[in-house]
């Protein structure tokens, strides 16, 4: 039996349409179709890792797939976030973005490997972590006002340690200096642990660090908390006043972590991730796990997170410019 010209043309037309059909089928494939990856941009075992692993575990049942945590640390969180930004349109890859990687480094690094506004899609605010200004108890200063008076009487001589140049704790110190009119000597460390160790040893006079780092030493009485750099008191330290209560409402430096997807990820896929993350953040297990290390669960819409990111970028850009902060 011979093949007619019309039949041959029909066959060729069908073959030509096949790639488009397959592409459409792939776009409409169920999501997620495989295990997902949640990138935590800091080492295993730290607070960020705790936030990420609890979130991943709680999200999994809502997505019908395992959510695997992968730690990719480096450059104040930029390395891990860059991995997510480079994931193209694959929403099976998502990650936590810290305040440093999302709102500080864009104004500090000469050349960022990604544009947070274009290469990343905001999903939901995961957690806020309050910070504490604290001193070695042996310094003998009882409250914030006394410390400010002491610092003003000794300009450039009172040292304050941070977890590293350009991080949220460093910028919080610069913000504190600006608002209180004090001249503290910034001491950058390679992480919060060595800064805390030097505070305990008396090598540095004071530190401004996440509550989760300082809490055990505050409870032991070796570290004296002066104020919480937030609008509200810390649930784990209800007797410690806030900067706002002490007359410095602009000294607000909550650390935070937000869930982000690749910027080109499918909108419906992002919405599924948002729904799963939002449900996870309402679970008692997640709330309790976060609270144990001084974290308050986030939430809200993706649009609200986008507004937070814009405000944080503007805020820290002004602090960086005003203090002439440079990466070392």
- Kindly indicate the confidence band of residue 191, based on its pLDDT and cuts at 50, 70 and 90: confident
Q: Which domain holds residue 219?
A: 131-228
% the chain with pLDDT above 70: 91
Q: What tokens does 320 get?
A: 């960086």
Evaluate if pTM is beyond 0.75: yes
Do 151 and 86 belong together in one domain? no
The residue ranking higher by pLDDT, 327 or 7, is: 327
The alpha carbon of residue 137 and the mean position of all alpha carbons in its chain are separated, in whole angstroms, by: 30
Q: How far apart are CA 67 and CA 36, in angstroms?
A: 5
Do 217 and 273 belong together in one domain? no
**Number of domains within the chain:** 2
Do 137 and 279 belong together in one domain? no
Which whole number is the average pLDDT over 52-68? 98
Q: Convert the pLDDT of each residue in 228-276 to its tens digit.
A: 999 999 999 999 999 999 999 999 999 999 999 999 999 999 999 999 9
Do 137 and 90 belong together in one domain? no
pLDDT for the residue numbered 76: 84
**CA triple 76-126-93, angle to 5 deg:** 70
Q: In the predicted model, is pLDDT for residue 1 greater than 80?
A: no
- Kindly indicate the confidence band of residue 28, based on its pLDDT and cuts at 50, 70 and 90: low
Q: How far apart are CA 164 and CA 157, in angstroms?
A: 19
CATH code of the domain covering residue 285:
3.40.190.150
Which whole number is the average pLDDT over 112-129? 95
pLDDT for the residue numbered 74: 87
pLDDT for the residue numbered 286: 98
Which whole number is the average pLDDT over 179-196? 93
Q: How far apart are CA 54 and CA 67, in angstroms?
A: 10
219-252 per-residue burial string, b: 16 or more CB within 10 A, e: under 16: eeeebbbbbbbbeebbebbeebebbbebebeebb
Do 276 and 221 belong together in one domain? no
Q: In the predicted model, is pLDDT for residue 6 greater than 50?
A: no
CATH code of the domain covering residue 141:
3.40.190.10
């Amino acid at each position: 039996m011979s093949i007619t010209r019309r039949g041959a043309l029909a066959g060729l037309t069908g073959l030509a349409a096949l790639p488009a059909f397959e592409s459409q089928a792939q776009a409409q494939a169920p999501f997620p179709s495989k295990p997902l990856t949640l990138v935590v941009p800091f080492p295993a075992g730290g607070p960020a890792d705790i936030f990420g692993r609890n979130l991943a575990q709680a999200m999994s049942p809502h997505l019908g797939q395992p959510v695997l945590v992968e730690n990719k640390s480096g450059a104040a969180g930029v390395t891990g976030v860059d991995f997510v930004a480079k994931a193209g349109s694959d929403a099976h890859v998502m990650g936590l973005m810290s305040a440093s990687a999302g709102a500080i480094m864009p104004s500090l690094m000469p050349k960022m490997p990604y544009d947070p506004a274009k290469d990343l899609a905001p999903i939901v605010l995961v957690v806020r972590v309050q910070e504490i200004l604290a001193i070695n108890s042996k310094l003998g200063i009882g409250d914030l006002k006394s410390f400010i008076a002491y610092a003003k009487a000794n300009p450039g001589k009172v040292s304050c340690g941070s977890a590293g140049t350009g991080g949220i704790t460093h910028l919080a110190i610069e913000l504190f200096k600006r608002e209180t009119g004090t001249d503290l000597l910034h001491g950058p460390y390679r992480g919060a642990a060595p800064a805390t160790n030097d505070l305990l040893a008396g090598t540095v006079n004071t530190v401004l660090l996440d509550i989760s780092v300082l809490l055990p030493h505050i409870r032991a009485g070796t570290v004296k908390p002066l104020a919480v750099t937030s609008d509200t008191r810390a649930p784990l330290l209800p007797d410690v006043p806030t900067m706002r209560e002490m007359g410095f409402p602009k000294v607000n430096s909550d650390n935070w972590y937000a869930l982000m997807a690749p910027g080109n990820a499918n909108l419906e896929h992002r919405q599924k991730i948002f729904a799963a993350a939002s449900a996870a953040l309402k679970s008692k297990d997640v709330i309790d796990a976060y609270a144990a290390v001084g974290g308050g669960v986030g939430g809200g819409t993706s649009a609200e997170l986008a507004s937070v990111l814009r405000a944080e970028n503007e805020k820290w850009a002004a602090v960086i410019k005003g203090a002439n902060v440079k990466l070392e």
